[in-house]
Amino acid sequence: MSIGRQLLEELRRDEELRRNLAEELLPEALRNRELRKAMLLALSREMATKEDIEELKSYVDARINDVSRRISGLYGVVKASLVAIIATLISTILVPLILRILFHT
């Protein structure tokens, strides 16, 4: 096996060695205009584009609107439940009083 292949195999196995080699090569790479350009192109492929951000924003807005609709629906249910509870309490208190007034005299 060639020395180059042995080096590649070792670099694949040893993360610390890869990191050390990158730290040694990076300053040299940054001095070279073509290498900087190649690195920037490689990095730009991993960046979110304006369209990606807009798509994500649309998705988040849709989810927020959905949650808002659900909350509005629950608000109506809670309001109706409170009205029913109050009506029950009023009838529980007033009916015995009315019956007492009407039939106790």
Tens digit of pLDDT for each residue in 45-79? Answer: 888 989 999 999 999 999 999 999 999 999 989 99
4 pLDDT higher than 80? yes
CA gap 82, 74 in Å, rounded: 12
pTM to 2 decimal places: 0.46
Q: Which amino acid is at 40?
A: L
Q: Where are the beta strands (DSSP E) in 3-103?
A: none
- DSSP tag of 1: -
Which residue's entry shows tokens 């015995």?
A: 96
CA gap 47, 14 in Å, rounded: 28
